[in-house]
Amino acid sequence: MKNRFHALVPCAGIGARAGAVGPKQYTRIGARTMVGHTLEALVDVARLDSILVVLAPDDTWFEDAVEPVDAKVSVVRCGGPSRAATVANGLAALTAQGADDADWVLVHDAARCLVRSAWVDRLIDACADDEVGGLLALPVADTLKQADGDRVAATIPRAHKWAAQTPQMFRLGLLRRALDHAGAAVTDESSAVEALGLQPRLVPGDAENFKLTWPADFALAERVLAARTRGQRQS
C-alpha cells in the first residue's frame, strides 16, 4: 500500500512570550505572516497529500492574515488548551477527512517559519520505512548549565544531547495512541511516543529551523529571509 503523508500545523496558541499584538503566528515577517511562510514551504513538499492547519475555535485572524496558498491546505477550528490537545484534535480531523491510521503525519510548529521543503523531504526519506518514525533535531553544541534561580547549579554533559525541532513524523494511529497515553503535559510528539517505550529516529535538521519565541527572534528571522532573497537574486 502506498504511503500517504499529511502535514499537521498546530496554530492555536497566543504566543504570549513573543510580545506580539495578537497571536504571534500572524506577525508579518517580510512579505508574509509567520504561518504564511510555514505553509509556503510545506506546499513545496510534493509528497505531502494534505496540509491541515489547526486553529483555536475563536480564531478570527487566519483568513485575513494568510493568502490562499494551495488547494491541499485546509483549516479546522478545533485547537485545544495545550499543544498535545490541539494535535490530538487535529488527528481526529484528519481521520474524518479520510486519513488512515497507517498514514504518516508530520507535525510542524507554525512558529518554525524558516523551514525549507528540502529539510522536510530529508525527514521523509529517513523515516518513510522506519518502524517508529522520527524528528528533525540538532546535536547540542553549547555547554549546558542547570540553573538554581539565577545561579549555576551544575554543568550538564552535552554528549549525546540533541535539540528537538519539527516536523516530527509518526504514523497517525501510533501518534494518537501515544498522545492519549501521555496526556497534556508533553511538549512535543516525540516525547509522547517515547513514553510508549519506543525510540524515534533523530534526523539532522538545520540551525535556521529555529522556533520564533522571543521578540529578538523575529528580527533574526527577518535577516535570514533577507539573506535568502539576496542569494536567490545572485544565483
Each residue's pLDDT tens digit, 4-39: 999 999 999 765 444 455 688 999 998 899 999 999
The answer to whether residue 24 is domain-embedded is yes
Residue type, 50: S
CA–CA gap between residue 134 and residue 124 (Å, rounded): 9
Instruction: Report yes or no on 29 lying in a domain.
Output: yes
CA distance 23 to 9: 15
> Which residue range forms the structural domain that includes residue 75?
5-136+164-234
**Structural domain total, the chain:** 1
Q: Three-class SS of residue 132?
A: coil
Query: What pLDDT is attached to residue 2?
Result: 76
Report the alpha-carbon distance of residue 235 to residue 229 in Å, rounded: 10
Q: What is the pLDDT of residue 19?
A: 44
Q: What is the CATH number of the domain that holds 179?
A: 3.90.550.10
The answer as to whether 156 is a domain residue is: no
Instruction: Compute the 3-state secondary structure of the chain and give helix, strand, coil in percent, each to the nearest 5.
Output: 35, 25, 40
Sign of the torsion angle spanned by Cα atoms 176, 186, 84, 213:
negative
Report yes or no on 104 lying in a domain. Answer: yes
Flag whether 146 is in a domain.
Answer: no
pLDDT given for residue 51 in this prediction: 97
Instruction: Please indicate, yes or no, if residue 142 is contained in any of the structural domains.
Output: no
- The residue ranges of the chain whose pLDDT is under 70 are 1, 14-22, 233-235
pLDDT at 230: 76
Whether the Cβ atoms of residue 172 and residue 98 lie closer than 8 Å to each other: no
